[in-house]
Amino acid sequence: MKRGLQLLLLVFSLTVFAQKEAVDTTQIIIPNRHNTAEAQTKPYVIMISTDGFRYDYARKYNAENLLKYSNQGVQAKAMIPSYPSITFPNHWTLITGLYPSHHGLIDNFFYDYKRKENYAMSNRKNAEDGSWYGGTSLWGLAESQGMVSASLMWVGSASDAGGKRPTYYYPYHEKFSPSEKVDKVVNWLKLPMDQRPHFISLYFPEVDGSGHHFGPDTKETEDAVHLIDKAIGELVQKVNDLGLKNVNFVFVSDHGMIKVDGGAPLEIPAILFDKNRFDYYNSQTLLRVYVKNQNEVKSVYKELKAKKTDDYEVYLDKKLPKYLHFGTKDDKYNRIGQILLIPKAPKIFLEKGKKTSVGKHGYNPRLVPEMKATFLAWGPEFKNNLVIDEFENINVYPLVTEILGLKIDQPIDGKLKVLKETLKK
């Protein structure tokens, strides 16, 4: 008995030790980076993403700090995520100004025909390999124009994606509390002028986690909103105390959240289980089909369409609504697949025996308003007391480059004119 207990303790301590070893919380600093004299005169932008922070959460849950600051600045009625309304595609869209089909991160997991390789966000090797990501990131643009940047766990920030890496960054982990992250941002802003980042991107996963696990309309999600709101209050207060002249805050999210029908999920059409003919990728709110033999696409499409129920749509990817920018024409990296099965919210596709979460996202935000994201902004560069209509999230990029005085170095989908009116000059 005693021996058994000892063994158990040994196994337990080994596990704890292994976990500690596995998570590297050290900041990485790229040496010899400095702001040019000109960059030192530019404003600061702190761009904060709170994953899954639905467009209505701030009001619904009375996020006092966010409402207070953005009341003095700019509030969008909503921000429209790019399709599909999921995390990796939309974070990379916000940071590059490109639709997912144009930057290549079309899902959290996908197959690349050319590379003959799978990408999965959970695979660290993929996530930190910049060759999967197209476009120029905001930090890459800043660094290439002599402006120092920093990132606390924005999607792709620990990779060499999107041009140069941020000068200061962390490999992804979830060990830092929101308050600890705030202190790290404040410490960056205490650095000497030539080393101080002017573009900082910051990521909080808590609200999305709660929305998935408990659902969007729960006390737990309300608490998660308040946790982040409190961190924003600390951030603004501590940044104000530094007395820097021109610090601007852009608070965004990647998508919203809806309670799904997990009790009666849709069955995946049996024909797709034939691995010799198909690969399919099921994110539950979207099922993408790769037909291996191109000559079969049309007949398979017809078959799937004939057998479908009223609870979902079947699309040939070239027939998707244009505004989704998710069809063949837009699929720059050939990663989407030829046939898409799109459930009608709150229905989901689910493999037999598999469990789902209470909350989900990924639906078309123009059909399912719960998918819409948040945009709030304040600081000296922004107009006061301005409420704007909803807009597409590709347009955040040119807004940030305008504030920082950066020159966009390649064609993007976003346009400055969409959000220019939010700026004082």
| Positions in the binding site for Zn ion (CB under 5 A) | 208
CA 322 to chain centre: 22
Which residue, judged by CB position, is nearest to Zn ion in the bound state? Answer: 208
CA gap 189, 248 in Å, rounded: 13
Composition of the chain by helix, strand, coil, percent to 5: 35, 20, 45
Rounded to a whole number of angstroms, the minimum distance from the CB of residue 314 to Zn ion is: 25
Residue 208 or residue 222: which is nearer to Zn ion going by CB?
A: 208
Q: How far is CA 198 from CA 90, 104, 157, 332, 360, in A?
A: 23, 27, 16, 32, 34
Taking the C-alpha atoms of residue 178 and residue 241, their distance in angstroms, rounded to an integer, is 19
- The CB-of-362 to Zn ion minimum distance in angstroms stands at 8
Quick one: 229 or 254, whose CB is closer to Zn ion?
Answer: 254
Closer to Zn ion at the Cβ: 166 or 211? 211
Dump strand ranges (E) for 247-349.
247-252, 258-259, 278-282, 287-291, 312-316, 339-343
Closest to Zn ion by CB, 265 or 327: 265
Q: How far is the CB of 133 from Zn ion (least distance, A)?
A: 19
Lookup: tokens for 49: 């993403």
Q: Give least dist CB 86 to Zn ion, A.
A: 7
How far is it, in rounded angstroms, from Cα 322 to Cα 318?
9
Distance of CA 209 to the CA centre of its chain: 13
Nearer to Zn ion, 208 or 317 (CB): 208
Q: How far is the CB of 85 from Zn ion (least distance, A)?
A: 9
Residue type for position 8? L
Contact 79, 374 (CB under 8 A): yes
- Answer for the pair 366, 58: CB distance below 8 angstroms, yes or no: no
Task: State in angstroms the smallest separation of the CB of 350 from Zn ion.
Answer: 16
Nearer to Zn ion, 73 or 359 (CB): 359
Tokens matching residue 138:
């905001």
Q: How far is the CB of 373 from Zn ion (least distance, A)?
A: 12
Please say which residue, 206 or 208, places its beta carbon nearer to Zn ion: 208
